[in-house]
Amino acid sequence: MKNLTTVILAAGHGKRMKSKLPKVLHQVSGQPMVKHVIDLANAVQSDKVICVVGHGKETVKEVLKEEKIIFVEQLEQLGTGHAVMMADQYISSGEILVLFGDAPLLSLETLEAFVEFHRKNAYGASLISTHFSDPTGYGRIIRNSDQEFIKIVEHKDATDEERKVTEINSGIGLFKAELLKDSLGKLKNENNQGEYYLTDVFEIIRGAGHGIGAFITGDPDELMGVNDRYSLSLAEQYMQNKILKHWMMSGVTIVSPATTYIEKNVVIGQDTTLYPGTLLKGMTVIGEDCLIGPNADLLDVVVDSKARIKHSTLIQSHVGEKSVIGPYAYLRPGSMIGKNVKIGDFVEVKNSTIGDDSKVSHLTYVGDGIVGKNVNLGCGVVFVNYDGSKKHLTEIEDDVFVGCNSNLIAPVKIGSGAYIAAGSTITDDVPSEALAIARQRQVNKTDWSNKYSKKK
């Protein structure tokens, strides 16, 4: 779709959200609402994306700084028509698509069908409409006896008869640039709110003899605008249902959709099963034939095929093929888990690599470490990585056995095939194949407890 400029209106205050955060930055399925709209604009191959900002503009710009968009400012909120005027310098040729930063549910399929409808009929301008059983608050589409578009009347300005109309305007419009530019210059604010309505542009273009298209979408929920926390929850529910259905239709078993949360950018392989309480967030990628959950919370995690994760939290980590994580494990950022590894209950791993076939079965902390293949870390092992000012590295080569309740004081290196006796505190490097014992020799004092009891 060539020579298409998209203007996203994102300047509103959103007072009904009762929030310090600008309305368009409230999240739906892991992304700010306006980011969903930017993604949609890019998906229809917009040559330029213009974002009109106002309230909280610096915060909005900061959140969207990585996006390839152009910001323009609306210092006073004087209506949707006035907002589009702020992008006047970019309204020069081709087509102008107007979207709303607080309407994140519109699908690419619907938008592409709308654009095709507009172009096929060579309309001067087109809008998306739908029917609401309760259209209160929305602009009404007024048609003539031949069902041709006549005008849009805002709810505040509508007569009692016009308010009975159930076909509503979504606000989404597509215009020939030269017609939009000319019409914006003719807008007036002679209405109850003293605002410049973009909706009046359609009547102006029609009055100049150009056709107006009203594309009726069959799914009213796609056009939902988010104005408060309740409607935000409805938008989240709608998008979650859509995401969950997509993955189930793609060969993923979701045992309890009602208790499963999957964000927009997550990828899941075929024949994976998600158990209740699973949360998959950010850029998480799950391979095939995995078992995830119950109660697994993953953020920006890559999980290779046939892995098992349950009752655990993982952040910015990688889990290798056939590895088992949990229950009650915590993988913090930078954890790289090899193939066929066991990370058991109450184990915490941070910024560490654990090689294939190794086992960290329970009650262990691995921080800033490099652990080789076929290593066994016993219960209660601690990588003592922090000296009070800096973090240090612990290195364990292949085939090492570390006994229970051992402290490895970094920086330290354990050679391949070495053994660490239980209860040791290791402060020096251990050579390959050696046995390291770092604990005080046991002393038994005979006839002690009976004497102690009598004194007591």
CA–CA dist 333, 215 (Å, integer):
47
CB of 349 closer than 8 Å to CB of 375: no
CB of 382 closer than 8 Å to CB of 369: no
DSSP character for 64? T
CB of 425 closer than 8 Å to CB of 438: yes
Give residue for tokens 């920086």: 411
> Would you report the helix, strand and coil content of the chain in percent, each value rounded to 5?
25, 30, 45
Contacts with 8 (C-beta within 8 Å, 6 or more apart), sequence order? 34, 37, 38, 41, 49, 50, 51, 52, 69, 99, 100, 101
Give the residue from 280, 218, 291 showing the smallest Cα distance to 246.
280
Q: What is the CA radius of gyration of the chain?
A: 31
Instruction: Tell me the residue type at 235.
Output: A
Instruction: Point out the catalytic residue in the list 210, 311, 362, 392.
Output: 362
CA–CA dist 239, 456 (Å, integer):
70
Pairing of the two strands 140-143 and 149-153: antiparallel
Helix residue ranges, H only, 208-296 = 229-249
To the query of whether residue 82 is one of the catalytic residues in this protein, the response is no
* Enzyme catalytic residues: 362
